[in-house]
Amino acid sequence: TKTPVKVAVTGAAGQICYSLLFRIASGDLLGKDQPVDLHLLEITPALKALEGVVMELDDAAFPLLNNVVTGDDANKVFDGVNVALLVGAKPRGKGMERGDLLRDNGGIFGPQGKALNDHAADDVRVLVTGNPANTNALIAMNNAPDIPNSRFNALTRLDHNRALSQLSSKTGTPTTEIKKMTIWGNHSATQYPDIFHTEIGGKNAADLIDDEAWLADTFIPTVAKRGAAIIEARGLSSAASAASATIDHMRDWIAGTPEGDWVSMAVPSDGSYGVPEGLVSSFPCVVKNGEYEIVQGLEINEFSRQRIDASVAELAEERDTVQKLGLI
Ligand code: NAX
């Protein structure tokens, strides 16, 4: 039998995790033959609620769930973990400035980065879902000098999946027939879903649709503002779809992307496509043997260039803010 993989999850008593933990325990992340240990981190006031979630995990009697560890001390909970899904974050309160949000989250992701640095397994992969995800990943990465930067990613897969779904309903094509979608930049309203390299049933999506007004005025804003539309309809932010995208990203990072396709991952830039080195920005990526690479050599037209640059400028601003705050 296989040795259990240790998966840390933060914000474990929250909405996203109420779906995420059960998907991990059922084998959707690591495969149906891989036992898993869950290492669940919460803040002290939420430990009671987390106890209830663990009771439900017990009651599901998942054959693959080997052990569950809980606590409010990252130094203990992150001990020996191979995978870290950082979901818990400080939400933006009423009247809160973006700087306050970055500072409060720096107070979470700085210490968590350090705890991972000091206690995680050597092969740890870290994925940040908690917002502002890209900059939270940047902060954690900069507080973990012994972990390679390439092991810190942020989630834009939900945006990627939303873009696939919009394109699917626009063209009446199943999402399985749609390849090479790209989200560029920040997981925020400035993100840029790019279909100029996307293939629908083997044909170029932009040529097939041939409607720049639809792209600019419908597709892009619908994808970028989907989170707000879900809140409007459900009264709560997206949770199960965010959990599913978190699984998709980490599963593909570990198991690889399918031949002839790529996925969107926010990764530390190596300078590709003019994105300043070190910013955690979304790119088209392929994964082989557990290592991702940014897809190279794509032609970027003027329409795309402006939008990528605008989103990257926002990331650079966020980096400058957290630098001034001494968080990185
Ligand atoms: P919830 O508020 O339901 O849960 C968050 C949980 O995190 C709470 O239980 C809280 O106690 C815990 N927490 C707070 N600080 C913590 C800390 N220092 N250590 C451990 N746990 C801590 O939020 P939920 O709906 O689950 O969303 C979680 C995060 O995901 C939010 O930041 C949200 O904005 C973000 N999202 C990111 C998405 C993405 O695509 N990247 C989409 C969905 C979601 O909006």
Query: How do residues 240-291 score in pLDDT, each as one tens digit?
Result: 999 999 999 999 999 999 999 999 999 999 999 999 999 999 999 999 999 9
Calpha distance 322→171 (Å, rounded): 42
Question: Contact 36/4 with Cβ under 8 angstroms?
Answer: yes
Over 90: is that where the pLDDT of 68 sits? Answer: yes
Question: Contact 14/86 with Cβ under 8 angstroms?
Answer: no
**320 vs 189, 256, 327, CA distance in Å?**
19, 33, 10
Calpha distance 18→31 (Å, rounded): 20
Query: With a 6 A CB cut-off, is 158 part of the ligand 1 pocket?
Result: yes
**287 Cβ contact list (under 8 Å, min separation 6):** 252, 253, 255, 256, 257, 263, 293
Name which of 326, 321, 304 is nearest 132 in CA terms.
321
pTM, rounded to two decimals: 0.98
| Residue-level pLDDT at 93 | 81
Question: Could you tell me what percent of the chain has a pLDDT over 70?
Answer: 100
Residue 106 is assigned to a ligand binding site: no
Residue 96 pLDDT class (50, 70, 90 cuts): confident
Query: How do residues 206-253 score in pLDDT, each as one tens digit?
Result: 999 999 999 999 999 999 999 999 999 999 999 999 999 999 999 999
Longest dimension (CA), the chain: 56
Query: How do residues 108-154 score in pLDDT, each as one tens digit?
Result: 999 999 999 999 999 999 999 999 999 999 999 999 999 999 999 99
Query: How do residues 311-320 score in pLDDT, each as one tens digit?
Result: 999 999 999 9
Query: With a 6 A CB cut-off, is 230 part of the ligand 1 pocket?
Result: no
* CA 90–ligand 1 middle distance (angstroms): 7
How many other β-carbons are positioned within 10 Å of the β-carbon of residue 28? Answer: 16
Residue 71 is assigned to a ligand binding site: no
Residue 1 pLDDT class (50, 70, 90 cuts): confident
Residue 81 pLDDT class (50, 70, 90 cuts): very high
- DSSP label at residue 131: S
Q: Characterize the bridge pairing of strands 36-41 and 5-10.
A: parallel
Crossing angle of helices 133-142 and 302-324, in 10° steps, is 50
User: Given ligand 1 and candidates 90, 96, 129, which is best to mutate, with the most ligand atoms within 8 Å of its CB?
Assistant: 129
Q: Name the residue at shortest CA distance from atom 42 of ligand 1.
A: 242
Query: How do residues 45-54 score in pLDDT, each as one tens digit?
Result: 999 999 999 9
| Residue-level pLDDT at 66 | 98
Question: Could you tell me what percent of the chain has a pLDDT over 90?
Answer: 97
| Residue-level pLDDT at 94 | 81
Query: With a 6 A CB cut-off, is 239 part of the ligand 1 pocket?
Result: yes
Give φ, ψ of 246 to 5 degrees. -65, -45
User: Given ligand 1 and candidates 108, 131, 280, 282, which is best to mutate, with the most ligand atoms within 8 Å of its CB?
Assistant: 131
Query: How confident is the prediction for the chain on average, in pLDDT?
Result: 97
Residue 99 pLDDT class (50, 70, 90 cuts): confident
